[in-house]
Amino acid sequence: MQARTSRLAATLTVAVALSTLALSACAGSDTRAQKIAEKARDRFAAADTNHDGQLSQDEANQGMPRLAEHFAEIDTDSNGELSTAEIVAYIQQRRGSR
């Protein structure tokens, strides 16, 4: 009984330590997320050859081939074009899941 209690306490300590880590990681990722978004916007602007603010499948194939592979997945509103918001959301979601 005694051993069980202290194991529970140890598990709790680890859990608290982990959540503290997760919290500080979140705080630190703020500027990193901004940098990712900026980079994505730069690449997006270069890939958006007709400058309509949206990336068609063709434009994605040419300018952002790695995103083009996941076009349908990224195009969350399924309008056949990728917006910067959709791309940034996709990149952040991918980074977060790792």
Residues lying near Ca ion in the complex (CB under 5 A) are found at: 48, 50, 52, 54, 59, 75, 77, 79
Closest distance of CB 78 from Ca ion, Å: 7
Element (H, E) at 13: helix 2-47
Q: Which residue number, 29 or 57, has a Cβ lying nearer to Ca ion? A: 57
Q: Which residue number, 24 or 49, has a Cβ lying nearer to Ca ion? A: 49
Closest distance of CB 80 from Ca ion, Å: 7
Q: Which residue number, 51 or 98, has a Cβ lying nearer to Ca ion? A: 51
CB-based burial, 13-38: b 16+ in 10 Å, e otherwise:
eeeeeeeeeeeeeeeeeeeebeeebe
